[in-house]
Amino acid sequence: MTWNNPNRKADVEGGVGPLYPTMMENPELRWGFIRKIYSIVSIQLLLTIAVASVVVLVDPVKVFFATTSIGLAVYIFFIFVPFIILCPLYYYHKKHPYNYILLGLYTVALAFPVGLTCAFTSGKIILESVILTAAVVISLTLYTFWASKRGHDFNFLGPFLFGALMVLILFGFIQLFFPLGKISVMIYGCLASLIFCGYIIYDTDNLIKRHNYDEYIWAAASLYLDIINLFMTLMTIFRAMDS
């Protein structure tokens, strides 16, 4: 399909231009797909807020996890549960209704440790992290759409971000056994924030150009994970600064 196609001209005349210069598909279909992704991510974030609020506001939950060894074990278990659910989610992400069920479980499983972290964090730090996360996500999303419109492609970031993420994970495990102090935690948080900012650009670029229309669940799960990770790393920085 080229610019000589009458349907393509109708799209442009109707105000729906291509999202990037080499776009060969109907822009209306791609915009519908993008709106669907952001609708799902919005519901995930609202569900996360609801679950985290219950964890924060119900005192017995905080007491259980703060004072018992069983609570600590359950907390560690919930840290790994979202990554375990990712395996069947990837396999069933095109199969309705299993994809929605697994996405809901994935969201709740990730929201629980987020809520526990917030339960032992001051409200000021949580608010600062929420505001900064929202500002960064909106800014990077607008930038990616703007850059794509002008022909920029961010697919090259994939291998670099994956390598940086592996280093980040290994560094995090090292910190569990050999704590390196407040300065190291702040450096870790800053590097992690930059990496997840890169992932937001990379995954947004993917949903603009590369995801198929039946990959909406996997695209939403990836973008949601980027946002939550950015929020958690920013909260890590503010907590280290506050201490």
Q: How high is the pLDDT of residue 225?
A: 94
Of the ranges 38-42, 45-49, 70-74, 102-106, which one carries the lowest mean pLDDT score? Answer: 70-74
Q: Is residue 18 part of a domain?
A: no
E-state strands within the chain: none
User: Which residues, including other chains, have CB under 8 Å from residue 182's CB and lie 6 or more apart?
Assistant: 240, 243
Tell me the residue range of the domain where 123 lies: 24-242
User: pLDDT digit string (tens) for 152-184?
Assistant: 999 999 999 999 999 888 887 777 777 777 788
Higher pLDDT pick, 15 / 159? 159
User: pLDDT digit string (tens) for 215-241?
Assistant: 999 999 999 999 999 999 999 899 888
140 pLDDT higher than 90 = yes
Q: How high is the pLDDT of residue 20?
A: 85
7 pLDDT higher than 50 = no
Structure tokens, 13: 């005349």
Q: Is residue 72 part of a domain?
A: yes
Q: Is residue 198 part of a domain?
A: yes
pTM for the whole thing?
0.88
Compute the distance between CA of residue 158 and CA of residue 84 in angstroms, rounded to an integer: 22
Q: Indicate the pLDDT class of residue 83, thresholds 50, 70 and 90.
A: confident
Q: Residue 93 carries which DSSP code?
A: T
Q: How high is the pLDDT of residue 16?
A: 62
The closest of 153, 131, 232 to 185, measured between CA atoms, is 232
Q: How high is the pLDDT of residue 92?
A: 87
Q: Is residue 92 part of a domain?
A: yes
| Number of domains comprising the chain | 1
Of the ranges 37-46, 73-82, 128-137, which one carries the lowest mean pLDDT score? Answer: 73-82
The angle that helices 216-242 and 27-57 make with each other, rounded to 10 degrees, is 40
Q: Is residue 13 part of a domain?
A: no
Angle at 179 between CA 187 and CA 61, to 5 degrees: 95
Q: Is residue 114 part of a domain?
A: yes
Q: Indicate the pLDDT class of residue 96, thresholds 50, 70 and 90.
A: confident
Report the pLDDT averaged over residues 49-78: 81
Q: Percentage of the chain with pLDDT > 70?
A: 93
